[in-house]
Amino acid sequence: MKLSLVVPCYNEEGNVERLFQEVKNTFKENIDYEIVFVNDGSMDKTAQELKKLHNNNENIQVISFSRNFGKEAAMYAGLKESKGELVCVIDADLQQHPEEVVKMIEILDNNQDIDCVTAYQKKRREGRLMSAVKSCFYKLINKISDVKFVNGASDFRIMRRCMVEAVLSMTEYHRFSKGIFNWVGFNTEYMPYEARERKTGRSKWSVKKLIKYALEGMVSFSTKPLRFATYVGFISSLASIIYLVVVVIQKTLYGIDVPGYATIVVLVLLLGGLQLFCLGVLGEYLAKMYIQVKNRPVYIVKEHLKNEE
């Protein structure tokens, strides 16, 4: 089989059938493909829609989770069950058109050295403020992390089998795919595309979720924040030694009284704050380790509708 399309779906009842039709109309008979839908614990009628699609078509797999495990887990499950030589991750909401997949396949077919084509949004759909915040996030994470993150690069990408296997070999619980895809290496080509409006339903992203996601990325792919405490400790110790010398000289040579209350309050608050911050950073890593050592599965499958071999 040439291509597997992996489609994570969470409350996408109005989109899955449409996506299927668009894929069918775009690929026609030219490409031998399958679609792996992952129903990530949808609360609407997505499950029924997917079952219908599976019953009426041969090239459809449906993996249903026992609850919502998140898009990262859904992608992981989809990649695991995919059989194609090429695997493409695409959203269910039709923001990414199957036409783009055809372009990606062409790039791979014309250049055997490339293992992965990643689509990035040249022009973001969101407002200026959000774009600026996201740019800052990318600058920061690229500074502190060893793997390279490309601003605007999405999960919408196509990979050769060798890269899929590499991604699957990373079994960590906290899956930050943007990092994982880069960490495994391979030659990636970036292709600009324009995301369209969501057909129906709502985006699952909120500002709160984005902040959580950003922190998750930093903790998952960098240990530099842990070193922050060392630097702060070193600098404040150095500063206090210098200040000590200054105070002693002021008192003994010039008889100047050292102003007390304000300085002490500010310093206590500042250092207390820094200590709590460092403790928090430590806690973030500890929490991740705690969950990881429990070794729980990334997702739990309730039902897997396969296509006959």
What is the contact surface with ligand UDP in residues (CB under 6 A)? 8-10, 12, 40, 68, 70-71, 74, 91-93, 95, 203-205
Binder of residue 49, out of Mg ion, ligand UDP, none (CB less than 5 to 8 A by kind) = none
Q: How far is the CB of 70 from ligand UDP (least distance, A)?
A: 5
Binder of residue 193, out of ligand UDP, Mg ion, none (CB less than 5 to 8 A by kind) = none
Q: Using an 8 Å Cβ cutoff, are 36 and 97 in contact? A: no
Strand 60-65 to strand 33-39: parallel, antiparallel, or no bridges (unpaired)?
A: parallel
Of residues 70 and 225, the one with the C-beta less far from ligand UDP:
70
Residues 82-101 as x/- pattern, contact with Mg ion by CB under 5 A: ---------x-x-x------
- Minimal CB distance to Mg ion: which residue? 93
Q: How far is the CB of 152 from ligand UDP (least distance, A)?
A: 12
Q: How far is the CB of 115 from Mg ion (least distance, A)?
A: 25
Of residues 176 and 225, the one with the C-beta less far from ligand UDP:
176
Instruction: Tell me the Cα Rg of the chain.
Output: 25
d(CA 269, CA 58): 66
Q: How far is the CB of 204 from ligand UDP (least distance, A)?
A: 4
Q: Which residues pair with 89 in a beta bridge?
A: 6, 157
Of residues 173 and 277, the one with the C-beta less far from ligand UDP:
173
Residue keyed to tokens 């608050």: 269
Q: How far is the CB of 19 from ligand UDP (least distance, A)?
A: 9
Strand order in the sheet with 86-89: 188-193, 116-121, 153-160, 86-89, 3-9, 33-39, 60-65, 301-305
Calculate the alpha carbon distances from 77 to 7, 61, 248, 285 in Å. 10, 12, 66, 25
In a 3-state reduction of DSSP, which class is residue 299?
coil
Of residues 207 and 253, the one with the C-beta less far from ligand UDP:
207
Total binding residues toward Mg ion, as defined by CB under 5 A: 3
Q: How far is the CB of 37 from ligand UDP (least distance, A)?
A: 10
- Long-range (24+ apart) CB contacts under 8 A made by 270-274 are 271/236, 274/232, 274/236
Binding site for Mg ion (CB under 5 A): 91, 93, 95
